[in-house]
Structure 1
C-alpha cells in the first residue's frame, strides 16, 4: 500500500509539473502576441515561478534549503505577481512594496522553520494560512475593485481563490488533529490530495485569467469602435445609438442639440500642418469638457472639425445660453502647439425641441450653424 501510494504521489507530481509547464508556456506565447497587456506578462511569469517551485519541492523531498526556502520564495513571488497582475488588469493602483512586505514576512517565517523545525501539523497549518492570506487579497481585489465591464470574469476567478482558501482551511483543520502524526496513510492521502487540488486549481486559475483577458479585449474593442481615437469623445455612430435611448427617456421634455464647427479650420491645417490641426481638435474637446457639461449630456466628434453636444431636458433659452458661454470660453483659450499659441473660434448652431427624433434636432441645429457661419462666424444661431 505504501509503495503504491508513494508511486501515486510521484506520478501526480510529474503530472503537475507537466501541467504547470504547459500552462506557463501557453501564457508566455500568448503574451508574445498580446504585447500591450502587462498583466498577461506578469501572470505568465507567475505560472513559471509556480512550476519551478513545484520542481524544487518535488526534487527535494527532505525539506532542506532547496524546497523550504527556494520553493517557498518562488511560491510567495508567484502569489505576489498574481496580486500585482490582477491590480494592473482591473486598473487598481498597487505598489510593489505591499506584496514585497508580505513576501518578506512569509520568507522570514520559513527561515525560522528551517532553523527550528516545528511539528509537521503546525508547518502545514502555517502554509495553509499563508495561502489563505494571498487568496483573500486577490478575492478582495476581484470582487470589490474590478470595474463593471470586468465583473463577470473577475467573479469567476474570485470563486477559484475562494475554493482554494476553503481547501486550505479544511486541510489545516485536519493537519492540526491530535492523532494526525500516527496516521501515516492519512498523511499520504493529504499529500496526494494537495497535488490533485493543485493541478485542478492551476487549470481553473488559467481559465479564469484567460476569461479576464478575453473580457478586457472585448471591452477595449467595443470602446475603440465607439470612441474617436484623437479626442477620446464618442464617435458619430456611438452618439446616435446612445442618443436614441437618452432622448426617448426624456419624452415630453425639451432636448437640445448644439452643433459646433471650428472656424477657418482649413487655414489652421495649412499653416500649422495636420499635427497642429489635431492639437486644436484635442484642445477644443478638452475646453468643452472642462466647463462642466450638464448631467446625461452626450458630447461627440461628429465629423472632421464638427462636434455635437446633446443635452436631454434643456429648454431653448438655457441651450442658447450654454452655447454662448462655450463659444466665449473657446475664444479665450487658444491651443498650445510647438511652443506657439493657436487662437481659434467656433460657430454654434442650436436647436431645442420636445421632438425625440435625434436626426430632426441635428438637422435643425445644422441649419442654424450654416446661418452662423454665413453671418460672419464666431457666433451662435438658434433654430
Structure 2
C-alpha cells in the first residue's frame, strides 16, 4: 500500500485534533495540572499547522509552508514549557518565545520552493533543539525515576533521532523528489507515531502526579504533614517486622490543656501549636528514622527502634523540655507556651511485641503522666 505525504499529514491532523480535545478536557477538569492546558494549546497550534500543510496545494505558499512551520515550531516550544510547568517553577515564557523567534528567522529568509529542502532541514534542527530542552527538563526533575518520566525521556530521544535522520537525508539525495521518497515518508510516519507516544507519555506523568497527590491526601495529615492514623497503623506492623530482634519503643504524646488553647485563642492558634510541635518532632527525631503519626486531635504516636528505643526516655524528655522552653507564635500576634505528657512502652524482645500490647502499655503510662501533673514522661 502506498501512502503519499498529504494523506499522512491528513491522518496527523485528525489525530492531533482528537488529542487536542482530550487534553483540553482534562486540563479544565484537573485545573491544578497547568501542563495539560499548555499541551492543549500546543496541540491546537500543531493541528492548525498540519492542516495548512494538507492544504498546501490550494493555499498560498506563505500560508501552507511559512505559517505552517511557524505554528509547528510554536507547538513544540509550548510542549517544552508544559514539561517545565511540571516542576512548579516559574515558566521561561520569554526564553521560549525568543528561541522560537530565532528558529523562524531562517524560515522567513529562505523563502520559495527552491529552498524547501533546506528549510525542512532547518526545521528538523530547531525541532531537535526544543526536544533537547524537553530532555534537559525531564532529566533534571527530582522525580525522574518514575516510569512516566523514563518513558517520556526514551520516546523524546527516539524522536530526536528520527528528526536527525530526516535532516540528514538531503546529503544522500538532494533532488526535489526526496519528499516523495519512501525514506522521507518513513521518517515522517515514524515521527508522527512517536509524537503521539511522547504526548501520551507526558500525560502519563500527570496521572502519576495525580496518583501521588491522592496518596498523600489519603495517608498524610493535611495540617501537620505527618502520617495520619490510617497510615500509621498501616506502616507500624511493617516497621515491627523489619526490626529483626532490635529493641522497640512506642511513645504516645498528648499536648497538655490543648482545649484551653482553642477556647482562649481560637482554633487557628491551636493549629499553629500543632504545626509547631509536628515540626519539632520531625526536626529532633528524623536522625532516628522513626514512624511518626498524628493519632487524632492533639495526640501523636511514635515508634522507635534500636539505640533510639534503648534511650527512649531520654529522647522523650528532650522533646518535652524543648517544647516547654519554646515560645510559639500563633494567629493574633500571641506568643504561647505548651507542654506535653508522654507515655512510653518499651520491649526488648521484639518477637514477643505486638502493636496492641505496646499501645496498651503506652496509654497506661500516659494516663499516669497526666495523673501526676502533666508535663512529664512515664514508662509502662
How high is the TM-score relative to the length of structure 1? 0.86
Please tell me whether residue 152 in structure 1 is matched to residue 130 in structure 2.
Answer: no
Residues 378 and 63 of structure 1, relative CA distance in 2, 3 Å threshold: farther
Is 1:79–1:134's contact at 8 Å kept on the other side of the alignment?
yes
Tell me whether 256-265 or 347-356 shows the greater mean CA deviation: 347-356
Deviation at 1:195, TM superposition (A): 4.8
Residues 217 and 173 of structure 1, relative CA distance in 2, 3 Å threshold: same
Is 2:249–2:304's contact at 8 Å kept on the other side of the alignment?
yes
In structure 2, the partner of 1:339 is 333
In structure 2, the partner of 1:162 is 157
Deviation at 1:28, TM superposition (A): 0.6
Secondary structure of the 2:286 match is coil
Match of 1:75 among 72, 77, 84: 72
Deviation at 1:301, TM superposition (A): 0.5
Structure-2 separation of matches of 1:231 and 1:63: 62
Deviation at 1:350, TM superposition (A): 2.0
Secondary structure of the 1:246 match is helix
Is 1:351–1:382's contact at 8 Å kept on the other side of the alignment?
yes
Is 1:259–1:348's contact at 8 Å kept on the other side of the alignment?
yes
Match of 1:321 among 314, 318, 336: 314
Deviation at 1:205, TM superposition (A): 2.8
Secondary structure of the 2:166 match is helix
Match of 1:139 among 135, 139, 152: 135
In structure 2, the partner of 1:49 is 45
Is 1:23–1:47's contact at 8 Å kept on the other side of the alignment?
yes
Aligned-pair Cα RMSD in Å: 2.9
Structure-2 separation of matches of 1:182 and 1:276: 77
Please tell me whether residue 30 in structure 1 is matched to residue 26 in structure 2.
Answer: yes
In structure 1, the partner of 2:121 is 125
Please tell me whether residue 382 in structure 1 is matched to residue 375 in structure 2.
Answer: no
Is 2:345–2:361's contact at 8 Å kept on the other side of the alignment?
yes
Structure-2 separation of matches of 1:354 and 1:96: 60
In structure 1, the partner of 2:273 is 280
Q: How many residues align?
A: 375
Residues 143 and 295 of structure 1, relative CA distance in 2, 3 Å threshold: farther
Could you list the per-position Cα deviations for residues 102-132 of structure 1 after superposition, in whole angstroms to 9, with x for gaps in the alignment? 3233233433434x99854433332222222
Structure-1 separation of matches of 2:252 and 2:5: 72
User: What is the correspondence of 1:77-96 to structure 2 with a 5 Å cutoff?
Assistant: 77-90=74-87, 95-96=92-93
Deviation at 1:262, TM superposition (A): 0.8
Could you list the per-position Cα deviations for residues 246-304 of structure 1 after superposition, in whole angstroms to 9, with x for gaps in the alignment? 33222222222222101111222222333332222222212322335324212111111
Structure-2 separation of matches of 1:69 and 1:185: 20
Could you list the per-position Cα deviations for residues 121-159 of structure 1 after superposition, in whole angstroms to 9, with x for gaps in the alignment? 4333322222222223323433452516x6112222222
Deviation at 1:224, TM superposition (A): 1.5
Residues 146 and 74 of structure 1, relative CA distance in 2, 3 Å threshold: farther
How high is the TM-score relative to the length of structure 2? 0.87
Secondary structure of the 2:51 match is helix
Structure-2 separation of matches of 1:83 and 1:319: 51
Structure-2 separation of matches of 1:183 and 1:53: 22
Tell me whether 329-338 or 23-32 shows the greater mean CA deviation: 329-338
Structure-1 separation of matches of 2:305 and 2:88: 31
Residues 315 and 207 of structure 1, relative CA distance in 2, 3 Å threshold: closer
Structure-2 separation of matches of 1:118 and 1:283: 70
Deviation at 1:374, TM superposition (A): 0.8
Secondary structure of the 2:100 match is helix
Could you list the per-position Cα deviations for residues 212-232 of structure 1 after superposition, in whole angstroms to 9, with x for gaps in the alignment? 222222222222111111211
Is 1:349–1:370's contact at 8 Å kept on the other side of the alignment?
yes
In structure 2, the partner of 1:349 is 343
In structure 1, the partner of 2:174 is 181
Is 1:27–1:40's contact at 8 Å kept on the other side of the alignment?
yes
Is 1:230–1:282's contact at 8 Å kept on the other side of the alignment?
yes
Structure-2 separation of matches of 1:128 and 1:218: 36
Secondary structure of the 2:342 match is strand
Deviation at 1:305, TM superposition (A): 0.8
- 5+ residue gaps in structure 1? none
Secondary structure of the 1:314 match is helix
Residues 8 and 25 of structure 1, relative CA distance in 2, 3 Å threshold: same
